[in-house]
Structure 1
Amino acid sequence: MATIKMITEKEAEGEVKSMFEQIKHMFGEEIPLTFQAMANHPEYMKIVLEKMKTVMESEEIDKKTKLAIAFSVSVMNNCEMCITMYTKQLKDAGFTDKQIVEIISVIDLVGSMNHFNNGTIIKPH
């Protein structure tokens, strides 16, 4: 259950309505709840959208790699909504279930090694 009011597409006006249209081009026809919540503070939502465009539209790293990274960070942060969204985007980008599980296995491996190293206070030379 959301802790603040979601601004729906029907309720959106002015700049928020315009930003919702941009979001639909990025994520499909449904406005993610994150942006419905951010619509309560349009100035902040505008900054977030610009940041997303700057990062995700840059061609330094290909889109599939960026989606895999975004999915990984979402798993590490335990963000159920983001995991669901990025899993869909990974599948839309051509990732198989086996590849998605492999990403999760890399997260598991590296995370467990990080925990081991933290517990033994191993430091690089």
Structure 2
Amino acid sequence: MADGNPVRPQDLLRVTVLRPADLAGSTVLEVSGEVDLHSASVLDDAISGALADDPALLIIDLTAVTFLASIGITALINARRTASFGTSVRVVTPDRSVVARALELTGLREVLAVVPLRADAFSR
């Protein structure tokens, strides 16, 4: 912002939507960057878009997230809460990561079905 150009939310956070052909009905959101007050709308929009397709399984992969503010945790809780009855939502974050620590401190690891590896999310 020093040069007068404002930082856009999508500059802080990227979400890539994957729909694995071999796992029909599954959607993976690969999230990278920082989830804070400024960028949380990017995550919210991606989650809403994915849930609109009513997948059987929604995996939110936070492996490449370097910061997770409380508003990001709220987005994850809302994903679980707004998912249709037939949609399972799972969150991926490596053990001992910043994100895993935040979810552990809030007592949400079980509620959000957190697993350390993406492969675990498919098999849980």
Superposition TM-score, scaled by structure 1 size:
0.26
Q: Which has the higher contact order (CA 8 A, sep 6+)?
A: 2
Compare CA radii of gyration and give the structure with the larger one. Answer: 1
